[in-house]
Structures are given as C-alpha cells and as structure tokens.
Amino acid sequence: MSSWSSSVVNGGVSFWFADDGLPDVREPLTGDGHADVVIVGGGYTGLWTAYYLKKAAPFLRITVLEQKFCGYGASGRNGGWLYNGVAGRDRYAKLHGQEAAVRLQRAMNDTVDEVVRVAAEEGIDADVHKGGVLEVARTPAQLARLKAFHEHELAFGEKDRELYGARETAERVRVADAVGSSWTPHGARLNPAKLVKGLAAAVEALGVTIHEATPVTEIRPKHAVTPYGTVRAPYVLRCTEGFTASLKGQRRTWLPMNSSMIATEPLTDEQWAGVGWAGRETLGDMAHAYMYAQRTADGRIALGGRGVPYRFGSRTDNDGRTQPETVQALRDVLVGFFPALAGVRIEHAWSGVLGVPRDWCASVTLDRTTGLGWAGGYVGSGVATANLAARTLTDLVRFDSGQAGPTGLTALPWVGHKVRKWEPEPLRWLGVQGMYATYRTADRRELLSHSARSSRLARVADRVSGRG
Ligand SMILES: Cc1cc2nc3c(=O)[nH]c(=O)nc-3n(C[C@H](O)[C@H](O)[C@H](O)COP(=O)(O)OP(=O)(O)OC[C@H]3O[C@@H](n4cnc5c(N)ncnc54)[C@H](O)[C@@H]3O)c2cc1C
C-alpha cells in the first residue's frame, strides 16, 4: 500500500464521531419494565419516531433501546446527503399508480425542509447547508443516463430540477471530464453525527427514556427482550435497518450492505479555488458503482461509494473498519474527479451498513393485530427518508390506538408493503458479490467504449438483484 495511507484513521465508527467526539453512553436497562411504545434502535428512524410521538402525545411513556449508543449505525456514519431520494418510488408507481408515487415524492421533497426546520427549532447545529444535489456525468453513457434520469424526475413533479452542460457544471464544481449534470434544490449537506446526537438530546429532553448499551435479542408482540430485562408495551417498533439480520427470526429480511467513506484533510483556499464547489451541493455521479460526496463545514471532502458490499452470513460491523483496497478505490475516485488533489492526505476511512430489502423498496408497516411495527429498507437514501418514515409510523400508531384518524402519510404507497425474504447463503453472498463486480465492469466498459449506450451488463445485474 502506498505512503499516503499510513496516517489514515481507519474505523472508530466514523470521521464525524471522531471529529465531534464519541458520546458518553447512557445507562443501560436494569431489569424488566413497561412502556406505551418501545422503540428498538437509536438511529434517525427510532429517534425521529420517538420525537414525533412524544410531541403529538406527551403523556406517552416511550422507551428507546439502543445496542451501543445513539448514532452508532448508519445515522452517525453517512455521507450527510439530506435529499429527496426514496428507494422504491418507481416500483410503487408500478404497483399503485403514478399519482401515488408522486405523493410519496412530494412528501420526500417536503421532508428535506422538515429536517432543516426541526433542527433549527431544537437548536441542533448540524452544519446544515441547503445547496441542493448535483449529479454529474463523465462519459457519454453516463450522460445518456443522466438525461433520462432528469426527464424521469421531472415526471415525478420535480419542476425545479435543472439540467446543465459541461460549462455550467464546471461553474459549480470542476469535476474532471464532466460533460453534464442535473441539479435539484431538494437537498442539503449536513454533519450526520451532529444531527443524531442533537436529536437524541432533544428526544430525551422531551421525556423519552433512552437506554444505551442494551442490545435487544428478540422482538415479539408486546415484548422487547434484552439480556438485562424485557420491556413490555402494546407497540414495539423495530428501527434497526442494516442490523436487522442479527435479530432472532430476521436473518433474511433486509440484507446488510456496506457503504464506505473517506475524508480528506482540510483543503487550502488555493485548492478550493481550483475545485470550485462554492454552492456546497452534495455531489454524486451516474456511474453504476456510483459515488457520493460533500464539502464539509471545515473544508474537507468526504466521499463514499461501495466498499466490500456484503459480508457472508449477513455479518454487519466492526466499528467501521474498512479494507485497505476499499480506501484505495475511494481515493482513486477522488483523484479521478479532482486530479489536482492527488497529493491531498486522506485522514479517515470508515464503513457502515445499509438495509436492503429483496425488492429494494423502503417501507413502513404497523401490524395492527400484533402491535409490531417497523420502518426502513432505505438502501442508500435514509437521511431524509427516515424522518418521513418516522412521521408515518407515528401517525400509524396514533391511528391504531384511537388517538387520531388516518392522515395523508398513512395513505402513502409504501405503507404496509410486503416483500419476500432474501435467499439463504451462499446464494445471498454470491448474488451481491456478482452484482457489484458486474457494475464495476460495466463502468469500465462504458469508459473504454465512449459509447452513449449503457452497458447491457448493468441491466442484467439490476434484474438479477431485484433492483431493476
Ligand atoms: C457509509 C454510509 C453512507 C450513507 N450516506 C447516505 C447519505 O449521504 N444520504 C442518505 O440519505 N443516506 C445515506 N446512508 C443511509 C442512511 O445513513 C441510513 O439509511 C439511515 O441512517 C438509517 O437510519 P436508521 O435509524 O433506520 O438506521 P441506523 O442508523 O443504522 O440505526 C439503527 C440503530 O439500531 C441499533 N440496533 C441495531 N440492532 C439493535 C438491537 N438488536 N438492539 C438494540 N439496538 C439495535 C444500531 O446500533 C443503530 O444505532 C448512508 C449509509 C452509510 C452506511
């Protein structure tokens, strides 16, 4: 491995936590207890659900059980793209009609502003900057996909989306070889760990009980079982996303998929002058093995993409430790985008897990007969989606318990969506490895062929994985 890698901090949950400081862990559960609602998992989904439920019904006794500390999962490790993408929208259009999917998309657009609003109202300083989302194309095939993607988004009601040529793209961010881009205003950059820490504090201040260092081993109707005791409640909500497979009976529900990131040292003013990026848009591309990046509040580039995508047997996490090949691959992406930054130090590398349902559709469910609920399967788009899912879960609980009637959120097409389970091993592992190898090959072929046609390989991988 080359010399640039010797100073990289690897793991430690994430750069965001390393920079801002790991939190003091709250008291674990000590013995059996009762609540009106038990929430398993202290990420955005669990905490936003606790937040909205308690705001709507302050009398509710709500307990959050978190295996490590709030934000330990993807919520404290992500790329900080607060944006309006939601996994599965197109499938929901096929299943429930375009109008229903447009309602979901509108709700997502509003959710970006909702998170910004509540963060401000609660005094959570999460380095939020609403500069929109810029997605660039760097090959003819990517450009063709970008244009199709742009048109497709317009059809879902995004009238304020803009398409740029090479020159206009460079005026925003000077990405090498960029031939075009699509920009939407419905996105903001943020510091994920600051958001989740602030949210946990806000929830606690409202009177919600949070127990950390408390792993739930089993969820069954009206029970959340831990090694330290069982909490009983009429409603038990599973908000465990990429870790869901470790719960009894859930091994094949959502596949834990890895995503990895690197953060550079802070760039100099001169380096920033070369890069541009004054608008601090979140930045992505149209490659099949796509990347995502942000300009951080302290002037670094944090950039992510697929690492080793999936570990055999749905194993999840190692405090974010990342394989050296992945760090190298992400650095190559960075330098490919910004060749002048070849000498920039990578200071931190980390990984986290996403939850991927068999049909790649995020969903929210409350089973009215058992009181069990869950939300997730966001794939790589959960920063905003978790907020919408949490508000939806809140409305479902309030409706079911007779506190309120149905709402616009309870009628969204992702509510109550059912999906089959993933295949048993080794098929699961083979399938995911094969899919990502295929995406990488497809990107290489497109680069070499200069063709405007998307590689057929990628379409095959989409179909096989259930994504297309
Ligand atoms: C590297 C990376 C980059 C990403 N970038 C983006 C991005 O830029 N934009 C975007 O929209 N999305 C992004 N995502 C996805 C997004 O971060 C997630 O979808 C979102 O944070 C999910 O929130 P959550 O609360 O559902 O899950 P999590 O944040 O994973 O929270 C689940 C929590 O449950 C706890 N838990 C799990 N099992 C148990 C148990 N048995 N008992 C008790 N507690 C348990 C975990 O410790 C964890 O704290 C990224 C994800 C990763 C990994």
Please report whether residue 209 resides in a domain. Answer: no
Ligand 1 atom 9: residue of nearest CA: 81
Residue 121 clears pLDDT 50, i.e. is over it = yes
The answer to whether 278 and 131 have CB atoms below 8 angstroms apart is: no
DSSP of 163-216, one letter per residue?
Answer: EEEHHHHHHHB--TT--EEEEESSEEE--HHHHHHHHHHHHHHTT-EEE-S---
- Nearest to residue 182, comparing CAs of 157, 212, 215, 158? 158
Please report whether residue 372 resides in a domain. Answer: no
The Cα–Cα gap between 256 and 253 comes to 9
CB-CB neighbours of 162 under 10 Å: 14
Q: Can you give the pLDDT at residue 289?
A: 78
**pLDDT tens column, 242-268:** 999 989 998 888 989 889 999 999 999
Q: Which residue has the tokens 């009628």?
A: 411
95 or 5, greater pLDDT: 95
Q: Which residue has the tokens 């831990």?
A: 226
Query: Ligand 1 in contact with 376 (CB < 6 A)?
Result: yes
129 DSSP β-pair partners: 189
CA atoms 262, 267, 271, 275: torsion sign: positive
Give whole-number Cα distances, 443 to 138, 140, 200, 431, in Å.
11, 11, 40, 19
Ligand 1 pocket test: pick from 17, 63, 78, 246 the residue with the most ligand atoms within 8 Å of its Cβ. Answer: 78
40 or 426, greater pLDDT: 40
Q: Is 242 exposed, middle or buried (0-12, 13-18, 19+ CB in 10 A)?
A: buried
**pLDDT tens column, 363-415:** 999 999 999 999 999 999 999 999 999 999 999 999 999 999 999 999 999 99
300 C-alpha vs ligand 1 centroid, how far in Å?
Answer: 23
The Cα–Cα gap between 215 and 195 comes to 22
Q: Can you give the pLDDT at residue 468?
A: 57
Contacts of 309 (CB under 8 A, 6+ apart): 257, 258, 432, 433, 435, 436
276 C-alpha vs ligand 1 centroid, how far in Å?
Answer: 31
Ligand 1 pocket test: pick from 51, 363, 378, 379 the residue with the most ligand atoms within 8 Å of its Cβ. Answer: 378
Q: Name the strands in the sheet holding 255-264, side by side, starting at the edge strand that comes first in the sequence.
A: 9-10, 346-356, 255-264, 301-305, 291-295, 282-285, 133-137, 180-184, 162-165
Please report whether residue 166 resides in a domain. Answer: yes
Residue 463 clears pLDDT 60, i.e. is over it = no
**pLDDT tens column, 266-322:** 999 999 999 999 999 999 999 987 899 999 999 999 999 866 555 556 566 789 999
Rounded average pLDDT over 213-219? 97
The letter for the amino acid at 81 is: W
The answer to whether 362 and 385 have CB atoms below 8 angstroms apart is: yes
Q: Can you give the pLDDT at residue 310?
A: 56
Instruction: Give the DSSP H or E segment for 64.
Output: strand 62-65
Please report whether residue 266 resides in a domain. Answer: yes
Query: Ligand 1 in contact with 383 (CB < 6 A)?
Result: yes
The strand ranges marked E within 272-427 are 282-285, 291-295, 301-305, 346-356, 363-366, 372-376
Please report whether residue 418 resides in a domain. Answer: no
Give the least confident one: 11-15, 19-23, 103-107, 309-313.
Answer: 309-313
- Nearest to residue 320, comparing CAs of 293, 296, 349? 349
262 C-alpha vs ligand 1 centroid, how far in Å?
Answer: 17
Please report whether residue 280 resides in a domain. Answer: yes
The whole domain housing 286 covers: 129-189+256-358+425-465
Q: For the stretch 47-68, what's the b/e string if a residue is b when 16 or more beta carbons lie within 10 angstroms of its beta carbon?
A: bbbbbbbbeebeebebbbbbbb
Return the ligand 1 atom nearest residue 217 CA: 41
Pure H helices in 242-384 = 269-275, 324-337
pTM above 0.85, yes or no: yes
CATH number of the domain encompassing residue 291? 3.30.9.10
Ligand 1 atom 32: residue of nearest CA: 240
Please report whether residue 159 resides in a domain. Answer: yes
What does the mean pLDDT of the chain come to? 92
Ligand 1 pocket test: pick from 354, 356, 385, 392 the residue with the most ligand atoms within 8 Å of its Cβ. Answer: 354
Q: In the chain, what is the straight-line distance between the N-terminal and C-terminal CA atoms, in Å?
A: 37
- Nearest to residue 433, comparing CAs of 252, 262, 289, 251? 289
Q: Give the long-range contacts of residues 243-246, CB within 8 A, separation 24 or more.
A: 243/41, 243/67, 243/73, 243/316, 243/317, 243/353, 244/355, 244/376, 245/314, 245/316, 246/314, 246/316
Preceding peptide of 413 cis, ω within 30°: no
Q: Can you give the pLDDT at residue 1?
A: 46
Instruction: Compute the half-sphere exposure of residue 161: CA atoms within 13 Å on the CB side of its CA.
Output: 22
The Cα–Cα gap between 261 and 263 comes to 7
354 C-alpha vs ligand 1 centroid, how far in Å?
Answer: 6
- Backbone angles phi and psi of 92, in degrees to 5: -65, -30
Total domains in the chain come to 1
Contacts of 120 (CB under 8 A, 6+ apart): none
Residue 63 clears pLDDT 70, i.e. is over it = yes
Confidence of residue 239 (pLDDT cuts 50, 70, 90): very high
The answer to whether 37 and 167 have CB atoms below 8 angstroms apart is: no
Counting DSSP H helices and E strands in the chain, the numbers are 12, 21
Q: What is the 3-state secondary structure (H, E, C) of 95-106?
A: HHCHHHHHHHHH
Please report whether residue 397 resides in a domain. Answer: no
The Cα–Cα gap between 107 and 100 comes to 11
